[in-house]
Every structure is written in C-alpha cells, then in structure tokens.
Structure 1
Amino acid sequence: MNTFTSSMRHTALTTALAATLLAGLVPLAHAHHPWIAPTATLVDNRDGAVSFDAATSEALFEYDARGLPLDGLVVTGPDGTNLAVDKDKLNTASRHRSSFDLTLPKPGTYRVANVSETVMASYKLGSETKRYRGTLEAWAKEKPADASDVQVTQMLSRVETFVARDTPSTTPITPVGKGIELIPLTAPVDISTGDTSRFRVLVDGQPYANAAVSLLQGGNRYRYKMGEQNFSTDAKGEFTIQWTEAGRYWLGISQGGRGPGGPAAAPAADAAKPAAPARRLSYAATLEVLPR
C-alpha cells in the first residue's frame, strides 16, 4: 500500500475531525467548527475583489485551532458554472488559518465551498488490524485482496459561504446533488435584522426531512453561553430563520454516524459482497446579518 504524504494525512484527519464533530459526537460547547468567512458578503468595490479566511476553531470565527485545508475549493458563479481557481496562487496556510482572495467577475451571488470526500477503513491481514485514510477511489485500488473484516466509513463534508457582487441573484442555486446542501430560497446575502430567510436542505439532491439544523452566533469567545438555536426541516426539507440580532452565524447540519439521519451503512444486496460504506455527511455555512 502506498504511504500518504503528511499533507494528505493532515487533510484527511482535519476532514474526519470536522465530519465527526458535525455528526454530533462531541457537545457543541466543546466542538471545533469548520468555517469560511468573507471580508464582506455584498461586494460593491470597483474590481469585485473579496478576501476569505478559513479555519477550524472552538471560538467561532476566531483563530484558536487550525487553518482549514482548501484542497477542495469550488467557486460557483451566478450562472451555475464553476470559476477556474488556481490553487497554486492561493495564500499559503498559516498555523491557525488559511486565507485566499477572489475576484468576482460579474454581478450576482457566488457559492464558495470547500468540499472534502474521504474514507476511513479498518481491516485485518491475518491477525493484524490495519487502518486506512484516503479517497474512495484510492481505497478501491489499494485495498488488499486478502483483507478480511473490512469496515469502511465514507465522509463527505461541505463548508461554504455566499457572497454577491453588486446585487444578489434572483435565480435559485442549482444543487450539485451530492451530500448535504443548503439551498437558499431567499437571498443568502444582504440580510438585515428583522429579515426572514428560508432554506431547503437536500441530501444527494433530495429533500432532507426532519433534519436537525444548528445555528450559532459568532462572538462566543466573549460570552459564557453559545446561544445555540435549533431548527427542524419540514417534509420538503425547508425551514425558516427570523433574524433578530446582527452578526456572523454558523449553520451546521449532519447525517449518519450517531447524528440524525438513519443507518450507519447500507446492507449488501449479495451476502458474498461487502456492505456499502457507512456514510457520514456534514455541512457548515457562514451567514452574515447586518443591522438595519
């Protein structure tokens, strides 16, 4: 089996940690939350330039843990096409945060996401237990033919935020159709106190009914209470937030593992074949609410 580089190990471990925390294995008060935050959600400067910080932290939107690896950065424009991102030109990550700049070429709303998909596997070779972390494709190629007692968990996480140049788009975001997605039914930028936002939650492109949604306000470093709000989606996967206070907010949803959302793994159709991997899906978004 090939040996992973330290960078790949760091990415896989950070992704696994984020997915595990989002899946509800650790109380929110002690969790490290992954996030991407822009300098502004509504950009009206001459060239459409905006900067972003990305990290995993206990105090929301502070730099008290690690920078978020950006190997899976995807920027989707108002027309639904992905912008070319030269990842070699992204700012190098410091110990506590990753930073990058974007230039938004045209008016409308952009979806800026870091998407990670990894697997964690355990298996036996003879009497010895082995472990694996990497991509699903690499695992399919590198799995030893004589492995037994194979247990595989597939983790798919999306950490994102929304920004707009000049004016928000009026057309809805087109779902990717994989993992958990948050589809804004009202503009996810230019939100003010007193506004109401509506969202639809999807899993693999289908409505995620009865999903548990957690909403946390930034600034918890300076107060004793997390101020968590909880929502549940309806049969259409939809829920509504009434914004009463200005600030940055972290929104989290999960499925699989010990979190809400069903079985850990699908049973194999043929007993002679291994069961489908267990799935742990996680989602996190940064939203900004301005004073009216």
Structure 2
Amino acid sequence: MKKLALPLLAFSLLFATTASAHDAWILPSATTLSGEKAWVTVDAAAGNDKFYFNHRPLNLNGLQITSPSGASLKAENAFSGELRSGFDLQLTEDGSYRIALVRNGLSAQWRQDGKPKRWFGSSSDFAKQVPQDASELKVQERSSRIETFVTKGKPSAIAEVKEGISLKPVTHPNDLFAGEAAQFIMTMDGQPAKQIKVHVVPEGSRYRDQLNAIELTADDAGKIEITWPRPGRYWLAAETSTPATSTAPAGTTKRLMSYSATLEVLPQ
C-alpha cells in the first residue's frame, strides 16, 4: 500500500465531524450482492461534498472488515491515491459484512520555543512523543468510526460495537427502501447514546442549492427513526464529547467521539 505523504492530515481526517470543513466516508460499489463470485470495491475519502472526491484520501490504517461469521478479513488490492484510498473485498460467505475505519487515540497541542506543536497518535506513543513539561499542553482522547455495511444474499445479524459511537440496527442497514421508516439505536461504548444529535445527508449535494440534511435526536433509548425521502446513498453522522476516561494520561481534558456511516436506500 502506498503511504500517504501527509500522515498527520490523514490521521486527523479520520476524526472529521459534521461541523468540520471536510467530512469523511467510505463508499462501497454496491451494498447488496448475490452469486458465487461477489466482489465490492470500497473507496475512502474526505471532501466538501458527500461521495465526491475533491480533497484527500483516508489512511487505511485501522481498517476492520468483519464477515457474517465474525471472522476478520483483509482487504485486497489496497491503494492510496491523491484524492481517495480504496480496496477490493470478495464476499465468500452469505450474510452481512461490517466494513469500518476505526481510530482510538490521543491528540495533543502545546508550545515549544514559542511555536505551536501538534501530535496525533496512540496512547502507547504519547509519553515518547509529547514532552510532559510542555508549555500550554492540552490533551484529548479521540475515538472515530467510519463504516458501511454490505450483504451477500440474505441479510444476517450484525455484531454490536462496544467502543465509541456506533449504530445498532433495528432495521437492517441493507434492507432500506424509499418511503419506508427505518429504526436504528445509536450507542456509546455499547450503551444507548441518549439524546445524541444525528445528521443525515442524501447524496448529490454538489448538484443542488440546499444540503437537504435530516436532523434527528435520539430518544433516551438511543433510538432514531428515519423515513427515507428518495432512493440513493445517504451519509449518517453523529458526534459528542464526554469527560476523559480514567485510563487517559494525566491532564487529558475530554474525549471526542465521532461516527459516520454510508447507507444505500433502494426504490420500492
């Protein structure tokens, strides 16, 4: 796999949120397939317009592909270009696959010799990379999940995620139809994400004057309901902040969590 020329930027793009200038997504060539030789190509990028490659590729470090049986799979033909990253995946089992880019780490800002410094990385590297006596040091935990779902044949159950923000299907994410209501439960560390704000944007914003975003608030059980206005692909995103966990380094101020999913809605 070709390494990105700007690893710091690529890492930070994995924490792109609904409030940022560039949103991040992974985009499968299809979400429902059949047949013996079923393949999908998945693109990973960040840009101003949903599913339009106009800014930067996403780093594929942290890619997690889970098969219907729960096995971890490896991407094939992975690459990173100037505007997008991508890979191929063969669906050898019937059922539903979860494809996600996951990052859990720390960010730090400080001043050194009068100049601002920044670092993003894993907690295990924090002490090696960040001076403990740094001036104006600010440390934050960060958790990001960018994902999509693909099914070969009949949809199957999707395992729950216990870390960060995630989506727990009530309606299967590969069984969505225009004009029908779908329900999901937003979770945070495996528990209902009460009252979290969810932002849903249909594809094609580059070609219209309005974003046409659907703004939702989860109830106390973390549940949201969406009636899809039309067929197409949708970008669903949520973000929140909480106090830092007890395992974070001393001086960590808060934990930032973001989530996004690419969903495909079919015509009835």
What is the alpha-carbon distance in structure 2 between the residues aligned to residue 34 and residue 42 of structure 1? 22
Partner of 1:94: 81
Q: Deviations over 1:266-285 (max 9, x none)?
A: 699xxxx8334521111010
1:3 aligns to what? none
Q: Which residue of 2 aligns with 1:57?
A: 47
User: Match of 1:137, SS?
Assistant: helix
Aligned to 2:10, what secondary structure does the other structure show?
A: helix
Q: Tell me, in whole angstroms, the C-alpha distance in 1 between the residues paired with 2:172 and 2:126.
A: 40
Partner in structure 1 of residue 233 of structure 2: 248
Is it true that 1:107 corresponds to 2:104 in the alignment?
A: no
- What runs of 5+ residues in structure 2 fail to find an aligned partner? none
Query: Would you say the 8 A contact 2:14–2:146 is kept in 1?
Result: no
* Structure with greater strand share of residues: 2
**Equivalent residue, structure 2, for 1:19:** 15
Q: How far, CA to CA, are the matches of 1:58 and 1:142 in structure 2?
A: 32
TM-score, normalisation: structure 2: 0.89
Among residues 252, 257, 262, which one is paired with 1:281 in the alignment?
A: 257
Residue 116 in 1 paired to residue 120 in 2?
A: no
Mark the CA change 1:64 to 1:147 in structure 2 (over 3 Å): closer, same or farther: closer
Q: 1:10 aligns with which of 2, 6, 9?
A: 6
Contact 2:14 2:103 in 1 (8 A): no
CA distance in 1: counterparts of 2:79 and 2:16, whole angstroms? 26
Which of 182, 187, 203 lines up with 2:188 in the alignment? 203
Please give the secondary structure, in 1, of the residue aligned with 2:104. Answer: strand
User: Which amino acid is 1:109 matched to?
Assistant: S
Whether the aligned pair in 2 keeps the contact of 1:125 and 1:146 (CA below 8 Å) is: no
CA contact (8 A) 2:237 2:258 kept: yes
Does residue 39 of the first structure (1) align with residue 29 of the second (2)? yes
Paired position in structure 2 for 1:167 = 154
Residue 145 (structure 1) shift: 4.7
- CA apart distance, 1:53: 1.3
Structure 1 residues without counterparts, runs of 5 or longer? 1-6, 257-261
TM-superposition CA deviations, 1:53-88 (whole Å, max 9, x none): 1111111111111112111110111233322x15xx
- The letter for the 2-side match of 1:74 is Q
Which residue is equivalent to 2:266? 290
Structure 1 SS opposite 2:78: coil
Which sits farther off after the overlay, 126-135 or 242-251? 126-135
Deviation at 1:93, TM superposition (A): 1.4
**What amino acid is aligned across from residue 21 of structure 1 in structure 2?**
T
Q: Deviations over 1:91-116 (max 9, x none)?
A: 32111111211011211111000112
1:138 aligned partner: 125
Deviation for aligned residue 1:45:
3.1
Partner of 2:210: 225
Tell me the distance in 2 between the aligned counterparts of 1:119 and 1:238: 29
Tell me the distance in 1 between the aligned counterparts of 2:5 and 2:82: 16
Separation in structure 2 between the aligned mates of residue 216 and residue 203 of structure 1, nearest angstrom:
22
Equivalent residues of 1:116, 1:157 under 8 A apart: yes
Aligned residues: CA RMSD: 2.6
Partner of 2:172: 187
Distance 2:147 2:217 in 1: 20
Separation in structure 1 between the aligned mates of residue 114 and residue 85 of structure 2, nearest angstrom = 42
